């Protein structure tokens, strides 16, 4: 079944046509979409301002249109009442019986509760983190990881077969510098003469790693090249990275090495494809260079290979191969995305920091230029993380060894808090991560409020197991009161939130919904007791079904966010 707002929109359309056929409304063209949204509970479950939108075309008062639509609304089991309200809203209330039936449907679905089929039979891939293995995972990269893994969980719930991928480059100047830095630290640990490169990596982790190497190999490596040390560093750092990410419940299916695109010559095939289609030229300067730029060209300057990206709306052409003969990052990146599409993924998400926006656009243009449709590639950009400690902004640099690692953060506040803290804001908003605040507020956190809802449900069932209450279904759910029914209505919002988070690439919607749901749960828990001498057994049994459903949904929600759903805290 489609989501309720979609169903309701269809019903409203049918009602309009019926009203027109009956002569209660004049003929007019309907817009492509009519708004149906969640309503203030005082008004109903859903509301539609459709009549207000149609007033002009129909040349009738909005309230008259709404009244006519309400009168001709087709009867279905899930709609209880539809009424017109000034100035022309349609208020729709779900049928009570139908709402109560959903309690059993939720329980029956278990861990798959609210699973959807949007992506059924399709493959999706989420790429995130993708930091080169030059040091520990920092807080900045963590944001992309949390967002990416949540999107991956979400896509799986929508029916996609999902893979999580990490793209990296273990060649290049950065990695050479890493190798040389480790080499220096190794010689230092042996007490030999050493020189840390001027642009070298200064983090303590290389000193630690060097000590390990001495412990394992003594001085056997002292005459090895920097390449050997680069490999040693890379292997060790990747182990750390994977372990760190595992701590926040992230597991990658694939680590994709950029270098494989050279080994398979995929990079050069892309260049050839671009060339064949006429989007490549060789020149010292880009085609739209100004006279001023031309005047500054030094004699004997070598030509570079350019991508005519302006043919696809770019503001300037981009270099594919430098005058040194070495490709820029652009070329392998296009090859990488071609590779992803060739692997048969139907839906791709790239989680990137906003500083990579140009890169994302260039890749899309490159794919188009070689005849690929970039439509399946969805770019989820997130703003930066600024870390504060002691009221001061902490500037991060992996190379200088200035950073706060994910591990430190997890050690301070725990994995669930890290994930929720990051997830509970729009990717579009700058994230000020105040370390002191995170530490002191660890116990005053929404995370615990949400998880406590799950704990309380689990607690009830622990107690029930020791009581003499007969828990075998069925239970008479009609014994549930208003507060309980309102809560079930809130539970039923989750699939709509999931679809919104998916279509808008906005995983933070899950985090806010979780808090709202907990906010409705706890007051109910205070009032709606199960095990109490004054609660009749049949009422207690009905309430147990409610709490079983609540527990199921909280677990689903926490799992989607990559958080744990504890039974005790």
Partner RNA sequence: GUGCCUGUAGCUCAGUGGAUUAGAGCGCUUGUCUACGGAACAAGAAGUCGGGGGUUCGAAUCCCUCCAGGCACGCCA
Q: Which 101-160 residues touch RNA, going by CB under 7 A?
A: 132
37 touches RNA by CB under 7 A: yes
Tell me if 562 sits within 8 A of 419, measured CB to CB: yes
Contacts of 160 (CB under 8 A, 6+ apart): 118, 119, 122, 123, 124, 346, 347
Residue 178 vs residues 56, 82, 223, 232: alpha-carbon distances, Å: 67, 67, 17, 10
Of 384, 363, 389, give the one whose Cα is nearest residue 374: 363
Residue 138 vs residues 228, 234, 410, 423, 433: alpha-carbon distances, Å: 25, 16, 11, 16, 12
Which of the residues 341 through 360 are near RNA (CB under 7 A)?
354-359
Tell me if 274 sits within 8 A of 369, measured CB to CB: yes
The correct pick among 150, 183, 405, 452 for binding RNA (CB under 7 A) is 452
19 touches RNA by CB under 7 A: no
Q: Identify which range of 2-10, 114-122, 452-460, 548-556 contacts RNA by CB under 7 A.
A: 452-460
85 touches RNA by CB under 7 A: yes
85 or 207: CB nearest RNA: 85
> Which helix or strand (DSSP H or E) is residue 91 part of?
strand 89-94
The correct pick among 8, 25, 47, 422 for binding RNA (CB under 7 A) is 47
Alpha helices in 113-225 (DSSP H): 139-157, 172-189, 204-217
486 touches RNA by CB under 7 A: no
412 touches RNA by CB under 7 A: no
383 or 559: CB nearest RNA: 383
160 or 433: CB nearest RNA: 433
Which of the residues 303 through 332 are near RNA (CB under 7 A)?
303-304, 319, 322-324, 326, 328-329
| 3-class secondary structure, 313 | coil
Per-residue binding string, RNA, 201-240, x by CB under 7 A, is ----------------------------------------
448 touches RNA by CB under 7 A: yes
91 touches RNA by CB under 7 A: yes
Q: Identify which range of 167-175, 189-197, 266-274, 339-347 contacts RNA by CB under 7 A.
A: 167-175
CB of 53 to RNA, least distance (A): 5
Per-residue binding string, RNA, 267-286, x by CB under 7 A, is -----------------xxx
The correct pick among 13, 456, 479, 559 for binding RNA (CB under 7 A) is 456
Of 62, 55, 78, give the one whose Cα is nearest residue 6: 78
CB of 502 to RNA, least distance (A): 14
Alpha helices in 218-296 (DSSP H): 226-247, 259-263, 266-276, 291-295
| 3-class secondary structure, 504 | coil
Tell me if 139 sits within 8 A of 175, measured CB to CB: no
Distance CA 486, CA 379 (A): 37
52 touches RNA by CB under 7 A: yes
397 touches RNA by CB under 7 A: no
The correct pick among 259, 383, 471, 559 for binding RNA (CB under 7 A) is 383
Number of residues that bind RNA (CB under 7 A): 87
376 or 427: CB nearest RNA: 427
Residues paired with 378 in a beta bridge: 349
| 3-class secondary structure, 84 | strand
């Amino acid at each position: 079944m489609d989501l309720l707002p979609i169903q309701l929109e269809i019903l409203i359309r049918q009602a309009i046509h019926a009203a027109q056929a009956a002569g209660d409304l004049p003929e007019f063209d309907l817009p492509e979409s009519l708004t149906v949204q969640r309503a203030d509970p005082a008004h109903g479950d859903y509301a539609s301002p459709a009549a207000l939108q149609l007033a002009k075309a129909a040349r009738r008062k909005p309230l008259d249109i709404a009244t006519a639509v309400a009168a001709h609304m087709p009867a279905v089991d899930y709609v209880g009442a539809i009424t017109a309200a000034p100035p022309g809203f349609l208020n729709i209330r779900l049928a009570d019986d139908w709402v109560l039936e959903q309690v059993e449907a939720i329980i029956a679905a278990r861990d798959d509760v609210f699973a959807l089929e949007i992506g059924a039979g399709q493959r999706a891939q989420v790429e995130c983190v993708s930091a080169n293995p030059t040091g520990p995972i920092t807080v900045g990269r963590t944001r992309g990881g949390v967002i990416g893994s949540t999107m991956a969980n979400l896509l799986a719930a929508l029916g996609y077969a999902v893979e999580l991928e990490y793209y990296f480059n273990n060649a290049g100047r950065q990695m050479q510098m890493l190798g040389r830095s480790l080499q220096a630290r190794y010689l230092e640990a042996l007490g030999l003469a050493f020189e840390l490169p001027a642009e070298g990596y200064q983090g303590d982790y290389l000193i630690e790693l060097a000590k390990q190497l001495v412990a394992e190999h003594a001085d056997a490596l002292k005459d090895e090249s920097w390449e050997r040390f680069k490999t040693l560093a890379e292997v060790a750092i990747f182990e750390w990275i994977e372990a760190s990410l595992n701590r926040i419940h992230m597991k990658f299916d694939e680590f994709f090495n950029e270098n494989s695109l050279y080994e398979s010559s995929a990079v050069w095939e892309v260049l050839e494809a671009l060339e064949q289609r006429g989007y490549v030229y060789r020149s010292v300067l880009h085609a739209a260079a100004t006279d001023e730029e031309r005047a500054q060209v030094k004699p004997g300057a070598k030509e570079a290979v350019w991508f005519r990206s302006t043919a696809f709306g770019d503001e300037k052409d981009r270099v594919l191969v430098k005058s040194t003969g070495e490709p820029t990052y652009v070329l392998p990146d296009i090859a990488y995305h071609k590779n992803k599409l060739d692997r048969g993924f139907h839906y791709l998400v790239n989680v990137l920091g906003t500083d990579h926006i140009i890169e994302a656009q260039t890749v899309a243009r490159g794919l188009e230029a070689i005849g690929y449709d970039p439509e399946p590639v969805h770019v989820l950009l997130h703003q930066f993380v600024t870390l504060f400690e002691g009221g001061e902004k902490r500037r991060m640099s992996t190379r200088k060894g200035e950073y706060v690692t994910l591990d430190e953060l997890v050690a301070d506040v725990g994995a669930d808090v890290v994930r929720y803290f990051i997830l509970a804001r729009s990717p579009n908003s700058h994230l000020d991560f105040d370390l002191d605040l995170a530490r002191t507020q660890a116990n005053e956190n929404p995370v615990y409020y949400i998880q406590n809802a799950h704990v309380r449900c689990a607690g009830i069932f622990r107690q029930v197991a020791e009581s003499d209450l007969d828990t075998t279904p069925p239970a008479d759910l009609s014994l549930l009161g208003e507060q309980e029914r309102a809560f079930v209505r809130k539970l039923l919002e989750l699939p709509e939130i999931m679809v919104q988070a998916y279509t808008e690439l906005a995983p933070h919607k899950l985090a806010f919904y979780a808090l709202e749901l907990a906010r409705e749960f706890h007051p109910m828990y205070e009032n709606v007791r199960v095990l109490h001498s004054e609660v009749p057994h049949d009422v207690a049994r009905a309430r147990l079904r409610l709490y079983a459903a609540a527990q199921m949904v909280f677990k689903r929600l926490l799992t989607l966010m990559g958080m744990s759903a504890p039974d005790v805290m």
